[in-house]
Chain A
Amino acid sequence: MTLMRTFLGAAASLALAATAALADPAIIFDLGGKFDKSFNEAAFTGATRWAEETGGQFREVELQSEAQREQALRRFAESGSNPIVMAGFAFASALETVAPDFPDTKFVIIDMVVDQPNVRSVVFNEHEGSYLVGLLAGMASKTGTVGFVGGMDIPLISKFACGYVQGVKAANPDANVIQNMTGTTPSAWNDPVKGGELTRAQISQGADVVYAAAGGTGLGVLQTAADEGIFSIGVDSNQNHLHPGSVLTSMTKRVDVAVYNAFTEGADLETGFNVLGLSNDGVGYALDEHNDALLNDEMRAAVDAAKAQIISGEISVHDYMSDESCPVM
Chain B
Amino acid sequence: MDFLTLIQILDSAVRLATPLLLACLAGLFSERGGIFDIGLEGKMLAAAMLSASVAAVTGNVWLGMFAGVGISILLALLHGLASITFRGDQLISGVAINFLAAGLTVVIGQSWFGLGGRTPSLMGEGRFKSLEWPLTETLEGIPIAGPLYSELISGHTFLVYVALLAVPASWFILFRTRFGLRLRAVGENPAAVDTAGISVVRLRYAAVAICGVLCGLAGVYLATGLAAGFVKDMTAGRGFIALAALIFAKWRPWHAMGACMLFGVLEALSNRYQSIEAPTYIIVAILIVMAAGLVWSSRKSLLDLAVLGGVAFLLVTVGTVSLFSSGLFGQTAIPGQFIQALPYILTVVILAGFVGKATPPRAGGEPYVKER
Contacts and interface: CB of A to CB of B under 8 A. Distances in A.
Interface of A: 33-36, 62, 179-181, 184, 187, 190-194, 196-198, 200-201, 204-205, 216, 219-220, 223, 227, 242
A198 B271 contact: yes
B337 interface: yes
A190 B12 CA distance: 20
Nearest to A191: B236
Contacts of B114: 35
B72 to A, nearest CB: 18
Contacts of A179: 274
Contacts of A198: 271
A201 B271 contact: yes
Contact of A220 (B116, B227, B272, B337): B227
A197 B234 contact: no
Given A179-B274, A193-B226, A194-B271, A223 B231 contact: no
Given A194-B236, A223-B228, A242-B121, A35 B115 contact: yes
Contacts of B117: 33, 35
Interface string B225-251: 011110111101100000000000000
Nearest to A182: B271
B12 A35 contact: no
Given A35-B117, A36-B116, A201-B12, A196 B232 contact: no
A193 B227 contact: yes
A65 to B, nearest CB: 11
Interface string B264-284: 000010011010000000000
Contacts of B115: 35
A201 B234 contact: no
Contacts of A201: 8, 12, 268, 271-272
Nearest to B269: A201
Nearest to B121: A223
A252 to B, nearest CB: 20
Nearest to A29: B116
A187 B102 CA distance: 14
A201 B271 CA distance: 7
B231 A192 contact: yes
Contacts of A242: 121
Contacts of B227: 192-193, 196, 220, 223
7 contacts: A180-B274, A191-B236, A192-B227, A196-B226, A197-B226, A197-B271, A216-B118
Given A197-B12, A201-B12, A216 B231 contact: yes
B84 interface: no
A190 B228 contact: no
A33 B109 CA distance: 13
A168 to B, nearest CB: 18
B67 interface: no
Nearest to B116: A35
Contacts of B56: none
Contacts of B12: 197, 200-201
Interface string B133-176: 00000000000000000000000000000000000000000000
Contacts of B274: 179-181
B271 A35 contact: no
